[in-house]
Structure 1
Amino acid sequence: MKGAFVLAFVAVFAAVAQANNCPALYRESNLSPIFNETIAHAIHSMTVQGLRLFNPRATANNKIPTVNQNLHNGAKVVPFAPEDPVGNDFYDFTMNMIDRVLTNVGTHDDGLGHHWSPAERIVHVFHMWDLWLHIQPYYQRIASSSPVSDALCECLLDTKSNGIYNNVGWVANHYESGTPISLKNIVEIPPLVDGNSWKIWKKDLLQYYNKESLTDAGMYLYCALKDF
Structure 2
Amino acid sequence: MITIILLLAVGTAIMAAPSPDQCPRILADAGVTEGFAPLVAHAIHSLALEDIRYFFKSDATEDNGIPTVNMDLSAEERVLPNAPLMGYDDDFSTIGMKSFDMVMRNMNRTNWGSRNDNVLVRVTHVLHMAELWNKISESYKNIARLLDPKSDICACATDIENNDVLNYVQYLAFKIRYPGITSGNATLTERYITALSSEGRTKRSMDEPVGYDYDFCWDGSLDYEKSRKPNFRKLDFDLSDLELLKNVSEELLDGDDGKAAVQLDSDAHWDWWRNMVKRISMGDSAYYDIAVFMFCMLN
* Structure 2 equivalent of residue 181 of structure 1: 214
Partner SS for 1:31: coil
- The corresponding residue for 1:193 is 265
Aligned to 2:60: 58
Cα drift, residue 93 of structure 1: 4.8
- What's the offset of the Cα at 1:208? 3.6
Contact 1:171 1:180 in 2 (8 A): no
Distance 2:90 2:149 in 1: 37
Cα deviation for residue 41 of structure 1 reads 0.8
Deviations 1:177-215 (A, max 9, x none): 342311326795132122343333333333243011100
Cα distance change, pair 202–161 in 1 and its aligned pair in 2 (3 A): farther
Q: Report deviation, 1:92.
A: 5.3
- 1:212 matched to 2:285? The reply is yes
Which residue matches 1:224? 297
What secondary structure does 1:81 align onto? coil
Deviation, structure 1 residue 157: 1.3
Does 1:133 pair with 2:134? yes
1:130-166: CA deviations, max 9, x gaps?
1111111100000013446621212111212111112
Could you tell me how far 1:175 is from its partner in structure 2? 1.4
Report the Cα distance in structure 1 between the residues aligned to 2:94 and 2:19, rounded to whole angstroms: 47
Q: Which residue of 1 aligns with 2:206?
A: none
Where does residue 36 of structure 1 map in the other structure?
Answer: 37
How has the CA–CA distance of structure 1 residues 89 and 200 changed in structure 2, closer, same or farther, with 3 Å as cutoff? same
Q: Larger deviation: 42-51 or 184-193?
A: 184-193
Q: Please, which runs of 5 or more residues in structure 1 have no aligned partner?
A: 1-13
TM-score by length of 1: 0.83
Out of 64, 75, 78, the position equivalent to 2:77 is 75
Does the CA-based 8 Å contact 1:63-1:79 persist in structure 2? yes
Of the structure 1 ranges 92-101 and 72-81, higher mean CA displacement relative to structure 2 is found in 92-101
Q: 1:108 to 1:78 in 2, by over 3 A?
A: farther
* Shift, 1:109, TM fit: 6.2
Question: Given residue 64 of structure 1, which amino acid in structure 2 is its aligned partner?
Answer: I
Matches of 2:155 and 2:65, distance apart in 1: 12
Distance 1:195 1:170, change over 3 A: farther
Partner of 1:23: 24
8 Å CA contact 2:20–2:163 kept in 1: the answer is no
| 1:96 CA displacement | 4.1
Residue by residue, what CA displacement relative to the aligned partner does 1:77-114 show, whole Å, maximum 9, x if unpaired? 111100013214556554443222111112356432x2
Unaligned 5+ segments in structure 2 are 1-15, 180-211, 219-255
> In the aligned structure 2, how far is the partner of 1:34 from the partner of 1:196?
33
| Residues 5-63 of structure 1: CA deviation (Å, up to 9, x unaligned) | xxxxxxxxx77x61110011121011111111111111111110111121101121111
The count of aligned residue pairs is 211
**What amino acid is the match of 2:103?**
V
Identity %, equivalent residues: 27
- RMSD across aligned C-alpha pairs, in angstroms? 2.3
Distance (whole Å) between structure 2 residues aligned to residue 161 and residue 208 of structure 1: 26
